[in-house]
């Protein structure tokens, strides 16, 4: 399945940032997009902007941290639209989880959204996609998944889960027409990064990041990390010995 053959798509975390931008990007290319998030008023504003641009974006109020309800809702959407061609698990939560004063309640929220919520979103209609022998699953991970970054135990680990989950799905689906893509953004100017106080190298504007993501989806890339400078640095960091990594990383933040 190539990008131009998408009829329908679900994008979670679509009330702001990359999810909002991607929902508009797909909608402007003729895809009927179900834009899902918790904040209904933001989704209504998105739908109006899309309509003004000649795109069809339908708001879906959804909290992916409630996994069972997410599973049911995504399956209902799949039935209502005659089959979702593209599912993008973009909803995510960030924030620091420093081991010296570990905030369990926040860590649990990160796991509920980034791990359980993402897995529920992606697996909800997977059996139906296999049965139809068409479809595309996309998970929005992060370059922060490469290693355990300082003060980010929950976030780095949650995105590492998504990487491995998607990789296993991709391997299992070889020989079918169901595609799997893992996207790993670096720093992008969004609501989430607006709260970050440390330096963010190679910071991208949201529109530029959305374009890169959209094109990677259309190409059905297995994995795609950006910007290339940060992705290259992360590739090297994977192979740095633990003693050196620990010494350097502990002084970064």
* Residue 132: partners with Cβ closer than 8 Å, 6 or more residues away: 83
Catalytic residue among 6, 34, 155, 224: 155
**CA 133, CA 215: separation in Å to the nearest integer?**
22
Q: Are the beta carbons of 84 and 9 closer than 8 angstroms?
A: yes
Q: How many CB atoms lie within 10 A of CB 117?
A: 25
Strand partners, 182: 139, 223
155 classed as catalytic:
yes
SS3 138: strand
Please tell me the distance from the alpha carbon of residue 237 to that of residue 139, in angstroms, as a whole number: 22
List Cα–Cα distances, 230 to 155, 244, 250, in angstroms: 18, 19, 19
Reference 210, options 8, 25, 14, 5; nearest CA is 25
* The CA-based dihedral angle spanning residues 143, 149, 150, 152, taken in that order and rounded to the nearest 10 degrees: 70
Catalytic residues: 155
């Amino acid at each position: 399945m190539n990008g131009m053959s998408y009829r329908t798509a679900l994008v979670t975390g679509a009330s702001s940032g990359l999810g909002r931008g991607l929902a508009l990007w797909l909608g402007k290319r003729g895809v009927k997009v179900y834009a899902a998030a918790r904040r209904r008023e933001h989704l209504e504003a998105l739908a109006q902007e899309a309509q003004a641009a000649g795109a069809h974006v339908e708001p879906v109020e959804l909290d992916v941290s409630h996994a069972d309800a997410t599973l049911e809702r995504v399956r209902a959407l799949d039935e209502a639209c005659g089959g979702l061609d593209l599912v993008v698990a973009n909803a995510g939560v960030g924030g620091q989880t420093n081991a010296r004063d570990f905030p369990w309640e926040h860590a649990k929220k990160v796991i509920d959204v980034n791990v359980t919520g993402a897995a529920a979103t992606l697996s909800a209609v997977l059996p139906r996609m296999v049965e139809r022998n068409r479809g595309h699953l996309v998970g929005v991970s992060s370059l922060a998944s490469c290693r355990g970054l300082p003060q980010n135990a929950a976030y780095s680990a949650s995105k590492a889960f998504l990487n491995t989950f998607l990789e296993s799905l991709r391997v299992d689906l070889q020989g079918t027409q169901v595609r799997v893509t893992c996207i790993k953004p670096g720093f992008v100017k969004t609501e989430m990064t607006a709260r970050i106080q440390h330096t963010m190298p190679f910071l991208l504007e949201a529109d530029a990041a959305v374009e890169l993501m959209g094109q990677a989806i259309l190409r059905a890339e297995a994995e795609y990390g950006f910007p290339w400078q940060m992705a290259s640095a992360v590739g090297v960091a994977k192979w740095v010995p633990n003693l050196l990594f620990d010494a350097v990383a502990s002084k970064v933040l």
